[in-house]
Amino acid sequence: MKSFYITTPIYYVNDKPHIGHAYTTILADVLARFHRLLGVPTHFLTGTDEHGQKVQNAAAKHGITPIEHCDQTVVHFQRLWERLGITNDDFIRTTQQRHITVVQKALQDLYDKGLIYKTSYKGWYCVGDERFFTEKDLKNGRCPECGRMVEEIEESSYNFRMGNYQEQLIKYIEDHPKFIQPDHFRNETLGFLRKGKLEDLCISRPKRRLSWGIELPFDKDYVTYVWFDALVNYISAVGYLSDDETFKKWWPVNYHLIGKDILTTHSVYWPTMLMGMGVELPQTIFAHGWWLTNDEKMSKSLGNVINPMDMIDKYGVDAFRYYLIAAMSLGQDANFTEKLFNTRYNAELANDLGNLVSRALTMLDRFNGGFVPEVTIDEDEASATLRKLCKEAVDTTPVNIDNMKLDTALATIMNAVREANKYWTDQQPWVLAKEGKKEELALVIRNSLECLRLVSGLLYPVMPTKMTEIRRALGIAEEAIAPDYARLQNWFGLKVGAKTTVPPPLFVKVKYEEPPTESLPPPAKKAKKEVAPVEMPPCTIEDVGKVQLKTAEVIAAEPVPETTKLLKLQLKLGDEQRQIVSGIAQWYKPEELIGKTIVVIANLKPATLRGVESNGMLLAAKAGNTLRLVTIDGDLPSGATIG
């Protein structure tokens, strides 16, 4: 790899940063740090999106100018990134002249090519998302993205001929499977592009309604749409139309890291804009899932948003970084509660890693004055097992990171730590010391220290501060604190005779206490109200004929990760195999479903639930707290039509 360029979304300055912002930025930082340790020239970009109606409205509400609002809010992000140890090479603000100039040049270029035209536009506008929607897009008259009320607006506008690139983009996605990842988001984008004609993109807002934006170079009565402005940051920051040498060095970007809620803007709007500009497309757009609290999306209205500062103050920056990387499988949603955090912190960091550091270095201090011992005997079977797991961690970490399986990488590393603790307990070095078996004791201590050297090197991009403490305590020279990944392939890498130290506890155990709940008197019993069943209007035989019911045999079942209600079922429908996701985990264990012949709606439009594709719906009956699947009376093959 000649270079590595990675970006986060630029974050909107209408509010303080939350755990979602922190996660994407930490993820980018871990990947950037890892590639720097491999010796790959690396450029890491983050920043803030500072134009648009929400910023203008927020500024007006506080009686200040929009730029004053931006200047006050941007520091929240900059301070948090500093606190989190983020090593971004650049921080771009869309109010900077270097960005504004490039946006206006790009707009003029597209206009001169005939790819931007003026027209009259009528649609439903959401202030929160700063987007127009058609009537069919709305959900109960509200914005399909955020649920806010929309307003109907008709105005003259400038459109980008996005629809010109529909087939070209479909073919590009089909030919480049790594372009949108994970695969289910790639399939989601292809489904969106194939379902109908791709409309052109409105890329302007009239100044009479919105003045806070980048002025169109060809019409001073308009500013550009905030998303057109924001997306260009990825190229304006690395020299597009300003520094050809720098741009050639870094572009195309290796990873655009995004949350799944902005998938369409990045996987449809952005590529078509680049096609219009004649610029090479990104290598990978990678969308991650949401952080949930008790399986609910975090939101201010629900009061369940996690403040990163609270976790940092209580557990430390490195522990916070570790949990975010370890607990989410990229592309899937994940739960974040302090209880889950506390359990992992105490088990993996305080008990496993912290305990190994303390016991190995304390014993060495007592046995050999803290100096790294020389090994003079051959390793035994237990030593070989430890060595094998450590080597597995070293060998697979780059592969897992390249495949964006960072949680798997950390799990493999922590397996080596647990094996080292088991090795220590099994070998009983305190007994070896008492019996005067110095050579055997030296082997146990040295193997434990070498495990810590490798583990601290592998975990360095995730927990740089704590791993630096471990590596200094191991007597590693200051110039080698940042590990050389090539040297991690060697087992005996510590210098014999190097002076070690016993550090203070790295991760102090924290007792979790449930938050106090207000004691309320029991509610008064109310007379039970009879609820009349909802009467459905009569349907015709044609209505019934639209629903295709079939028998299906359950051949596999498993829980959907990070959920408590969903099961993923693999079904046999005649010669076809289907996957259906259903919220029946409360009533059925996976193993109870295997072999059952159930009834499914076979022609239901596919949907994605918690990042898992579902093709159909099973039928079940529910009364009170009891649910039962609809099954067949007697033997019948799968795929049989019902009706």
Q: Residue 546 sits in a domain of what CATH number?
A: 2.40.50.140
**280 located within any domain:** no
| 485/549 same-domain check | no
Token pair of 393 as six digits: 């961690």
Q: In what order do the strands lie in the sheet with 116-126?
A: 131-133, 116-126, 151-160, 201-202
CA distances, 180 to each of 31, 187, 610 (Å): 18, 9, 17
pTM recorded for the entire structure: 0.78
For residue 169, how many other CB atoms are within 10 A of its CB? 22
Q: What is the pLDDT of residue 593?
A: 80
| 473/592 same-domain check | no
- Of the chain, the percentage scoring pLDDT greater than 90 comes to 66
Q: In what order do the strands lie in the sheet with 204-206?
A: 204-206, 219-224, 215-216
CA 158 to chain centre: 34
Q: What is the average per-residue pLDDT within 281-302?
A: 84
Instruction: Kindly indicate the confidence band of residue 531, based on its pLDDT and cuts at 50, 70 and 90.
Output: very low
Token pair of 30 as six digits: 């871990």
pLDDT in tens, 132-156: 787 878 888 888 878 888 888 888 9
Higher pLDDT, 526 or 99: 99
pLDDT in tens, 59-94: 999 999 999 999 999 999 999 999 999 999 999 999
Whether the predicted pLDDT of 625 surpasses 70: no
Which residues are paired to 554 by β-bridges? 571
Backbone φ and ψ of 444, nearest 5°: -65, -45
The number of folded domains in the chain is: 2
Domain residue limits at 394: 311-323+330-489
| 476/546 same-domain check | no
CA 75, 81, 82, 86 dihedral sign is negative
pLDDT in tens, 319-351: 999 999 999 999 899 988 899 999 999 999 999
Q: What is the average per-residue pLDDT within 405-424?
A: 96
**Which residues are CB-contacts of 126 (< 8 A; sequence separation ≥ 6)?**
133, 143, 145, 146, 148, 150
Q: Which of 261, 233, 23 is closest to 131 using CA atoms? A: 261
Token pair of 195 as six digits: 């379902």
Which of the residue ranges 223-227, 282-286, 299-303, 397-401 would you say has the lowest mean pLDDT? 299-303
> Which domain CATH number covers 368?
1.10.730.10
Q: Which of 569, 575, 584 is closest to 615 using CA atoms? A: 569
| 547/479 same-domain check | no
Whether the predicted pLDDT of 525 surpasses 90: no
| 559/469 same-domain check | no
CA 231, 234, 236, 242 dihedral sign is negative
C-alpha to C-alpha distance for 29 and 9, rounded to whole angstroms: 13
Q: Which amino acid is at 604?
A: L
Token pair of 516 as six digits: 């106090």
Instruction: Kindly indicate the confidence band of residue 523, based on its pLDDT and cuts at 50, 70 and 90.
Output: low
